[in-house]
Structure 1
Amino acid sequence: MTPPAFPIDALLPRLLATLREHARLVLEAPPGAGKTTRVPPALLGEDWLGGRRILMLEPRRIAARAAAEFMAAQRGERVGETVGYRIRFESRVSAATRIEVVTEGILTRLIQDDPELAGIGAILFDEFHERHLHGDLGAALALDVQANLRPDLRLVVMSATLDGERVARWFDAPQLASEGRSFPVRLAHPPARAGEAFPERGWPFHLRRAVAQALAESEGDVLAFLPGRREIEQARAAIAAGDDLGAVHAAVDLVTLHGELSLAEQHAALAPASAGRRRVVLATNVAESSLTLPGVRAVVDLGLAREPRFDPNSGFTRLDTVAVSQASADQRAGRAGRLGPGACYRLWPQSRRLEPARTPEIAQVELSQLALELAAWGSDALRWLDAPPPGALAQARDLLRALGALDDDGRLGDFGRRVLTLGAQPRLAAAVLRAEPPMQPLACELVALIEARNPLRGESMRSDDFRLRVQALHAWRERDTAGARALGAEPAALAAIGQAADAWRRRLAGRTPATDRDTRRGGDPAHRESTAVGDLLMHAFPDRLARQDANDPRRYQLANGRGARLGDASALYGEPWLVVVDLRHEARDSLIYAAAPFDPQRLARDFPQRHRRERRVRWNRDTRAVEAFEELRFDAIVLERRVVPAAPEDALPALLAAIRELGLDVLPWTEHARELRLRVQSLRGWSPELELPDFSDAALLRDLEHWLAPYLNGKRRLDAVQAAEVSEALSSRLDYEQRRALDAQAPVAIGVPSGLERRIAYAADAPPVLAVKLQELFGLADTPRIADGRVPLTLHLLSPGGKPVQVTQDLRSFWERTYPEVKKELKGRYPKHPWPDDPWTATPTHRAKPRR
C-alpha cells in the first residue's frame, strides 16, 4: 500500500540527518502533520539503529492502539508483526516486532526491568505536551540511561503544542519544526441562554443548539469535546431527544469516543461516515491529538476536561473537571481545519481567559508511585523538566513506609518490589498482595471498585458503607441485574468494574478467571463475613484505620492522628472500628464518605511493627496537674492505657508545655513582677545600648527552660508555683549592672517638690505616667524626665481630692497658660488649700492650709 503524503515527509531527511549526528532531538509538529505514524517507520533503515527496536510512548491507550494499527496497515501487515503495541492488560507484539507503541507505565516498567534497554535503539515520546507523570518520569529515566549506560540510544521528544525552546534546553538537543496541514478556522462563541451554563443541568441544550448550528453552517462531520463519559451520555440523550438535528439534516449519526469503549466501538468511532450520512462525534480529550477523525469540518468545544488532581480526602489522584488550557483549546479548534476551512464553536464567554498551558501532572498528583519508582531506580537525582515538589514527595515516602513498601531508611524491600511490579497504585497493590490466596479475587474487586467511579446512584450513592458497592458488584456477577438495580447500581458501570477486576485477577494469578460462582466471588466463604472487605482494605489505608470515640459514638480517632466523624444518616453507626476509604477534610474532624468495618484482632497480626508501648505524660487542663500513663498504641490510636506516677523529669516538660499552651497569665504574677516587666520593656526601647533581656510574652515563653524551669523542679501542678518564685525567677534574668541601670533610668518612683516620692506607672504602648497633686509641684518649672533625660513623664495633675485636673507633658506651659483658669475653679471647690497667684515661688505641699 502506498502511504499517503503528510506534511512531515518534507522534514524527514533533515530529521534523519540530525539523529545521525545527535543522540537527542526535539520535534514540533502540529496535529495532522503525521509525526506519530511517519517518524517511527522512517527510522527503521538507519545504521545506528542496527536492527534494534523502536519504542514510541503514547499517553493514551486508544491512541497507542490506533497508531500501531495505522502503521501496520500502511505496511500491509497485521498488528503484532513489524508494528505492535503494549498497553495495560493487552499486548500485540511478536519476535518480529520492530516498532512497539507503548503507554507510559509500560515504558517505565521496561526501563526499570532492563536499565541497559538491550535490543532497543530509540525511544520516541509522542504528545509530550500532555505532561503525564509517567511521561516525565520515563524521559528522566531515559536521559539517565543514555548518560550512564547507553550513549548510542536515540531519544526524540515530539509534540504538537510545546514550549520547544524550554524543552530543547532541558533535553540539550537540536530543535526541528514541521509545517502542519491546516486551513483557517472561524471561532464563534454562541451565547448560553438562561440556565444553560455548565455545570447547571441546562448545558446539554446549549451544546445541542451549537451542534445544530455547526451542522447548518458547515459541511462534513461535527466533533464535540466533552470532559468525560458521563457528560457524553448526557449530551447524547439531549441531542437525540431534540428536533434541532432532524430539521437541519436527517442523515446524522451520533458517535461516542472515549477510553472506555470496546475495541470494536473504537474502530467504529475512528471510521469515516457512511456514504450520504454525516456524523456528530461526542468525544473526550482523547480526540485532541494523535487520533485522526476523518471528515470533521466543525468543532463544538465545551471547554472542559478531566485532569488528575491529588484528592487528600481519598488519598488518591482523582480526575477533576477543569477548564482547558489555551493550548488545548487551540488544538481542539485545529481539528476543524484539517480538510478545509472550518469552524469552532466555543461554549464559554469570549471574555474568559484560559491558562496558557496545561499544568504538569507531577505538580498536582499524589506521588507515591513516583517515589516507589525512584526507590527502585536507586536515585532521584534525575534531570527533570519540572522536578517533583519536595513536600509531596516526602509525604509519598511516608505513605510507602506505612504500607511496608519502603523501610525506615527509604530503601525498597522485597514487598516493595512486588508492589512495584504489580503496576497498581501502591495503596491498592499493597491490599492485593497482602490478601490471603482465597481472598485475592475479592481484593481484585476492591481495587477495581476504588479505581472506578462509584457505581451506585440516587440515595444509594450517599451510603457511606463501602460494602454496599461490593454487594452490588456480586449481584451483577450472579447475573442478578434486578438485584443490582434494587441496590441503586448502574449495570453498565458494574460491567466495566467487573472487567477491570477480572483483568487484575489474570495479572495476579497468571490464568484466565474461573466462571463458577464461589471462585468469582472470592473463593473462601469468609468473604461474606461482615469484616471481610475491611480486613482487605486496611492494608491499603493503614493510616486511616479508625477507632470509635468512647464518649461520642459518631466520632473516630484515625491512626494518622486526625479525627473523623460519621454523617447523621450513616449506615455505619455503632461500628467500633472502621477503615476509611474516602472522607472530606475539615478543620476539626473530617466527614467520612466511605468506610468499612474490620476485625481489630488483625491489627496485632498484620501490623506488629506499628504497635508500641510507651510512657506518655500530659497536662490535664481540668485538674491543672501533670498526669502520666503507660500506653499501648497503634500509631495515634490508644489501645490500652494505665495510670502511673509522674516522675519529676516527666512533669517539668509537661508543665512548660502547659504554660506555653495557656499563656503567661496562668502564672501567679505579683504587681512587682508585672511592673518589673513593663519597666524593662520600656527601657529596652528607650536605651537599646543597655542590651536588657527581652521580657515580652513571646520571649519569656520561648525561653521558659532558662528562667522559670529551675523554680518548677519537683512540681507536678501549676497551683504549686508561688508568686514569689515567679518574681524571683524574673528578677534573676537581670545582672547587677542591668539592675543599677534600670533603677536609675526607669525608677519605680520619683521625688517631687513636696518632699514625697510618687510612683511612676509604666505601660506597654504608652509613655510613663506620674500622677501627682498639682500643689506638690509648686515651684517646679519643667516636666520631670527619666532614661537619662530622654523621656518626659506624662503628668496627671490631680486636685486635692485626687481627681484629674490636667494631663500634660509641658509643665511650664501649664503654669503659664492653664493654671490661672484652673486656680479659679479649684479655689472655690477647695478653699482650705493654698492657691497662690505665683506658682513658681509658692511652697509645694500635699496638705491644706494650717489652722491659725
Structure 2
Amino acid sequence: MPHPPVLPDLPIRASLPALLDAVARTGTAVLAAPPGTGKTTLAPLALAGLIGDGPQRRVLVAEPRRLATRAAAARMASILGERTGERVGFQIRGEAKRSAATRVEVVTTGVLLNRLLADPELPGTDLVVLDECHERHLETDTACAFLIESRQVLRPDLGLVAASATADVELWTGLLAGDAGPAPAVASEPMRHPVAMHWEPPRERLKPPDGMRVDPRFLAHVAHLVDRALDADDGDALVFLPGAAEIRRVAERLGHLDADIHQLHGSVPPAEQDRAMRTGERRRVVLATDIAESSLTVPGVRIVVDAGLVRRPVVDHARGLPGLTTAPASRAAADQRAGRAGREGPGAVWRAWSEAEHLRRAAQPVPDVAAADLTAFRLQAACWGTAVDDLALPGRPPAGAIEAAEATLIALGAIDADGAATDRGRVLARAGLHPRLARALVDGAARVGSAKAAEVAALLGLDKRGKGDDLLAQWRQLRSARDRQWEQEVKRLARAVPNVDRHASDDEAAATVVALAFPERVAKRSGGQWLTAGGTGAVAAEGSALSGSEWLAIADADRSPGRAAAVIRAAVPIDGGLAREIVGEETVERVEWDAERRDVAARSVRMVGAIEDASDRLADPDPALVRAALLDGLRREGLDLLGWSEGARRMRERMAFCRREIGEPWPDVSDAALLAGTDWLEPWWDRARRRRDLERIDTAAALRNLVPWSEDLDRTAPVRLRLGNGSEAAVDYTSGTPVLKMKLQLFFGAKEIPRIAGVQVRAHLLDPAGRPLAVTADLASFWQGPYAQVRGEMRGRYPKHPWPEDPADAEPTAWTNRRLRGA
C-alpha cells in the first residue's frame, strides 16, 4: 500500500475541510487565498480526493498562462511523489502530458474554452477550478460564463470553484450563485513571513514610458537596484520587468554578477523556463514579466525587485491596430509581486518608484474585457450560441469594441448578419488562434501550401519575433535555430488544415499570410511614411531593412496615444499586385476641391482600401459630385469665391440690417446661413462646374430672390436717404447701424436725422477734404453745442468754405464762399 504523501506546511491546509464542505453542499465555492498559501496545488489535490478524505473526482484546473500550467502540474505531481502525466497531468497549446490515470489535469484557459466549445458538457470532468480569477484575463472571464451556463442547462452536477489571490469575493460569489443563494466563500490565512519594503525611485527625472518604449536610463536604474539588493539581502532575486526587450537589456547589464541570470517570459522555450524555476549551486537572478506574478512559487526567491511596469492591451478599433502599451502596474499587481519575496521565509522588496506615487496608482488592473481586442471572444460567444448580453460575465464588454469585433468577423465570413457563427467561423474557432490568424492559416494554406502557411501563422501566433522589424528574417532565424516550441506549434497548425502542396517562395508566403491576417495593415509608401489600407500612417525605425519597400504587409505596429503614425514592429515586403488581390481594389470617381489650385479636381482613382494607388483625369464627372466639391470649396474658402459686386455687397448689408432689426420674414444672410445650402444660388449653381462659374454668379440677383414677396427692400432699408433740407446721400449699413456720410455744409438747415426701420441713423459729418469731423445722432444738439468749437477750428483751416454762426437756419451747400457769391 503506497504511503500517503507528505504535504507541505501551507496555510491552505486549514481551509481545505471548509472548501470540500462548500462544494459538497452547493457544487460551487469561491476560494480567496493570498499568494503562497497553496491554493494552486493543495486545493486541487484535495478536491480530487488525492489527499485527505474527500470524494474521488476528476478535476480540471484552468490557469491563464502556459508557464503556470506546467509549473502547477509539476508541483502537484512532486507532492504525490510522481512524474507529471500520471495522476496529475497538463495540456497547453502544442504540448500535453496525461494518461488514463490522470485525476487532476491542469490546462490553460484557452484549452478549456476549446473543450467547452467542442462539448459543453465536459464529459469525464467532475469539477473545474478557475485559478487566478482576480487577474481578469478575458479567457478566464469567458470560461467562467460558459461554465455557469453549462451548469444551469446541461451539467448541474459539475462543480465549479473560482480561486483567486485577491478575489473580489462579492463579485464571484454572486456570479456563481445558485438556487440557495450566493456561492460559499472560503478564505485562507496569508503567509506570515515578514517582508521589508524599500522605495527606490530614480534620482534623476526620467521620461515616462511611451508606447512600447521604456527609458534606457530607467532600466539602468533597475539593474542597479538588483546589484544593491543582492549585496543587502540573502536568497535569489526575482525581477519584474514589462516585456522581453526590457528583460534582455537588463540581463546585459547584469553580466558581471556572480550569479545565474535567467529570463522568464512567454516566448522562452519550456526547457529554459524549467531551468529558471530550479535552484542551483549559485545564486539566481530571474528576470520575468508578469507571468511570474501569481500561480506559482519560484523556489529560493527572497528578493523581489519590481520595475513597477506592465504591458496592457490597447486597441484602435477604427483602424484595426490592436497592440500593447506600457503603463504603471496597479497597487494590487505590485502587492502580488511583493508576495513572491515572502513565500518561503523573510524577504525584501525593492520598488523602483516612491511610496507617494504608489498611493496614486490604480487600485486594480484594468480587466482585459475593457481594453482588449474582442474579436476572438465574440467568435467564441457566437459558437457557444448565447448572446453576449446574456452571458454571466464578471464585467460587461464595451459596445464599441463588440461592434468592431463583429465587423471583423463578418468580413472574415465567421459570423452572419445576425451574429450567429457560420460553418467557416466554427472552422476558424477550432484552429486555436485569433480569428484573423486562423483565417490566414486556412486561406493561406490554399495559396502558398499548408506547410509554409502553418510556419508563418505559428510565428505570428506565438510572438516568437526577435530583434528588428523584418518578419521574413525572423522566420528564417527560427527555422535555423530549430525552435522547439515553434516547431510543435507548426505541426499542430499543419494538422488543422488540409494538406496542400504549393511551391511559393518564402517572400510570397510570408506576405500572403500576413496580408490575409491583417488586410487593413497592408501599406503603400506615401512620402516619408507608409499609408495603410485602414487609413493609418506608419513609419519604420531608423535603419530598417524595410525602408526601401514600396508595399508592406504589416504584422504588428505600435500606435501610441497622441502619435499620428504607428511605428512598425514587424512587417514583410509585398508585391503590389498581391496586395491589390488580397485587400481588394475599386475604382471610384473622386471629385474634390483642390485647395492648392482653388478649383475642382476630377479624377478616376484606383483605391486599395484607403490607399490611393493610381489616378487619371476624369473628363466627364458626375455633376452631383462636382456640385458637392464646389460646395466644399465654398465652405472652405468662404463666400468670397462668389462674384460680389459693390451693389451685391450693399444689398447683403441692407438685408442683414432688416433681419437684425425686424426679424421674420426677412431671411438670414450670414455666412453660416448662406453656406448651409445652395438653393439661393439657383439657377446659376446648377450650371456651375468650376471656380470661374462661381465668380460669374450674379449674387445681387440671387440675394434679391431671397427678399420676401411681401416686403420692399428699397422702402424698408433705402439705398439713399433725404434730409429735411433736401440734401441726400447713400446710407452705409456696413457697421450694422445705418450711417449717413456727408460734408458738414450739406447738413445746414437740417433739424434732425431720420430713422430707418425705427433705428436712429448716425450722421458722419465730414470736413471739406472728406475727413471725419464729428459723429452724431442728434443734429439739433450738435448745432447748439459742439458746432461752435468745430467752426472755430475749421474757419482758419478752410476759410473759403461757409461756417455760419447759425447752421440750423443756413442753406445747405457743397460750394465755397466764392461760388456762392458768384451765384
| Short-chain TM bin | 0.7 to 0.9
Written as runs of structure 1 = structure 2, the 5 A alignment for 1:317-716 is 317-352=322-357, 353-378=360-385, 379-381=387-389, 382-406=391-415, 412-436=421-445, 439-450=449-460, 461=468, 466-473=471-478, 477=480, 498-510=483-495, 526-527=504-505, 531-546=508-523, 558-561=532-535, 577-581=551-555, 595-602=571-578, 610-612=584-586, 617-618=591-592, 634-636=608-610, 637=612, 643=618, 645-646=620-621, 648-649=623-624, 651-687=626-662, 690=664, 692-704=666-678, 706-708=679-681, 710-716=683-689
Q: What's the TM-score, normalizing by structure 2?
A: 0.82
Identity %: 39
The alignment partner of 2:40 has SS state of helix
Query: CA–CA distance in 2 between the matches of 1:202 and 1:556?
Result: 31
C-alpha contact (below 8 Å) 2:656/2:670 kept by paired residues: yes
The verdict on how the C-alpha distance between 1:410 and 1:613 changes in structure 2, with shifts beyond 3 A counting, is: farther
Q: CA deviation at 1:144?
A: 4.5
Cα deviation digits, residues 283-333 of structure 1 (max 9, x gap): 332222111234433322222233333478995544444321121122222
Query: CA–CA distance in 1 between the matches of 2:395 and 2:807?
Result: 81
C-alpha contact (below 8 Å) 2:740/2:763 kept by paired residues: yes
Written as runs of structure 1 = structure 2, the 5 A alignment for 1:814-833 is 814-815=782-783, 818-833=786-801
**Residue in structure 2 matched with residue 299 of structure 1 by the alignment:** 304
The alignment partner of 2:44 has SS state of helix
The verdict on how the C-alpha distance between 1:131 and 1:470 changes in structure 2, with shifts beyond 3 A counting, is: same
**Residue in structure 2 matched with residue 803 of structure 1 by the alignment:** 771
Match for 1:210: what amino acid? L
Q: CA deviation at 1:90?
A: 1.6
Q: CA deviation at 1:24?
A: 5.7
Query: CA–CA distance in 1 between the matches of 2:780 and 2:163?
Result: 87
The alignment partner of 1:35 has SS state of coil
Match for 2:457: what amino acid? V
Q: CA deviation at 1:15?
A: 4.2
Match for 2:770: what amino acid? G
1:241 aligns with 2:237: no
C-alpha contact (below 8 Å) 2:323/2:558 kept by paired residues: no
The verdict on how the C-alpha distance between 1:236 and 1:656 changes in structure 2, with shifts beyond 3 A counting, is: closer
Q: CA deviation at 1:337?
A: 3.2
The alignment partner of 2:162 has SS state of strand
Query: CA–CA distance in 2 between the matches of 1:559 and 1:332?
Result: 42
**Residue in structure 2 matched with residue 483 of structure 1 by the alignment:** none
State the superposition RMSD in angstroms.
Answer: 4.4
Query: CA–CA distance in 1 between the matches of 2:397 and 2:741?
Result: 65
* Selected match of 1:3 from 7, 18, 42: 7
Cα deviation digits, residues 740-799 of structure 1 (max 9, x gap): 5x66665545443443444443457x655443433444566777655534xx55543322
The alignment partner of 2:73 has SS state of helix
The verdict on how the C-alpha distance between 1:262 and 1:562 changes in structure 2, with shifts beyond 3 A counting, is: closer
Cα deviation digits, residues 659-710 of structure 1 (max 9, x gap): 345443322233344344444445545555x365443333333323x43365
The verdict on how the C-alpha distance between 1:652 and 1:360 changes in structure 2, with shifts beyond 3 A counting, is: same
C-alpha contact (below 8 Å) 1:195/1:201 kept by paired residues: no
Written as runs of structure 1 = structure 2, the 5 A alignment for 1:148-167 is 149-150=154-155, 153-165=158-170
C-alpha contact (below 8 Å) 1:422/1:429 kept by paired residues: yes
Cα deviation digits, residues 408-429 of structure 1 (max 9, x gap): 6665444333322212233333
C-alpha contact (below 8 Å) 1:196/1:204 kept by paired residues: no
Moved more, 288-297 or 229-238: 229-238
Q: CA deviation at 1:208?
A: 4.9
**Residue in structure 2 matched with residue 71 of structure 1 by the alignment:** 76
Moved more, 79-88 or 672-681: 672-681
Query: CA–CA distance in 1 between the matches of 2:629 and 2:370?
Result: 40
Moved more, 444-453 or 365-374: 444-453
Query: CA–CA distance in 1 between the matches of 2:695 and 2:262?
Result: 84
The verdict on how the C-alpha distance between 1:369 and 1:750 changes in structure 2, with shifts beyond 3 A counting, is: farther
Moved more, 99-108 or 709-718: 709-718
The verdict on how the C-alpha distance between 1:817 and 1:390 changes in structure 2, with shifts beyond 3 A counting, is: farther
**Residue in structure 2 matched with residue 36 of structure 1 by the alignment:** 40
1:774 aligns with 2:779: no
C-alpha contact (below 8 Å) 1:185/1:344 kept by paired residues: yes
Q: CA deviation at 1:181?
A: 1.8
C-alpha contact (below 8 Å) 1:31/1:180 kept by paired residues: yes
The alignment partner of 2:402 has SS state of helix
Q: CA deviation at 1:265?
A: 4.0
The alignment partner of 2:364 has SS state of coil
Query: CA–CA distance in 2 between the matches of 1:619 and 1:196?
Result: 46
Q: CA deviation at 1:543?
A: 2.4
The alignment partner of 1:105 has SS state of helix
Q: CA deviation at 1:532?
A: 4.4
Match for 2:115: what amino acid? L
The verdict on how the C-alpha distance between 1:89 and 1:566 changes in structure 2, with shifts beyond 3 A counting, is: closer
Moved more, 128-137 or 659-668: 659-668
The verdict on how the C-alpha distance between 1:698 and 1:841 changes in structure 2, with shifts beyond 3 A counting, is: same
**Residue in structure 2 matched with residue 226 of structure 1 by the alignment:** 241
Match for 2:256: what amino acid? A
Query: CA–CA distance in 1 between the matches of 2:293 and 2:807?
Result: 95
The verdict on how the C-alpha distance between 1:334 and 1:846 changes in structure 2, with shifts beyond 3 A counting, is: farther
Query: CA–CA distance in 1 between the matches of 2:56 and 2:589?
Result: 67
Query: CA–CA distance in 2 between the matches of 1:721 and 1:204?
Result: 63
The alignment partner of 1:101 has SS state of strand
**Residue in structure 2 matched with residue 717 of structure 1 by the alignment:** 690
**Residue in structure 2 matched with residue 269 of structure 1 by the alignment:** 276
**Residue in structure 2 matched with residue 761 of structure 1 by the alignment:** 732
Cα deviation digits, residues 18-73 of structure 1 (max 9, x gap): 55565665443321233223433444469xx9977443321111112222233333
Q: CA deviation at 1:343?
A: 2.7
C-alpha contact (below 8 Å) 1:625/1:716 kept by paired residues: no
The verdict on how the C-alpha distance between 1:146 and 1:714 changes in structure 2, with shifts beyond 3 A counting, is: farther
The alignment partner of 2:821 has SS state of coil
Written as runs of structure 1 = structure 2, the 5 A alignment for 1:196-207 is 199-201=214-216, 203=218, 206-207=221-222
The alignment partner of 1:55 has SS state of strand
The verdict on how the C-alpha distance between 1:322 and 1:414 changes in structure 2, with shifts beyond 3 A counting, is: same
Q: What's the TM-score, normalizing by structure 1?
A: 0.79
Query: CA–CA distance in 2 between the matches of 1:567 and 1:347?
Result: 29
The alignment partner of 1:357 has SS state of coil
Query: CA–CA distance in 2 between the matches of 1:257 and 1:604?
Result: 41
The verdict on how the C-alpha distance between 1:215 and 1:134 changes in structure 2, with shifts beyond 3 A counting, is: same
Written as runs of structure 1 = structure 2, the 5 A alignment for 1:114-263 is 114-146=119-151, 149-150=154-155, 153-165=158-170, 173-174=182-183, 176=185, 177-190=187-200, 192=202, 199-201=214-216, 203=218, 206-241=221-256, 254-263=261-270
The alignment partner of 1:538 has SS state of helix
Q: Structure 2: where are the runs of 5+ without partners?
A: 209-213
The verdict on how the C-alpha distance between 1:506 and 1:672 changes in structure 2, with shifts beyond 3 A counting, is: same
Match for 1:537: what amino acid? V
The alignment partner of 2:140 has SS state of helix
Q: CA deviation at 1:803?
A: 0.6
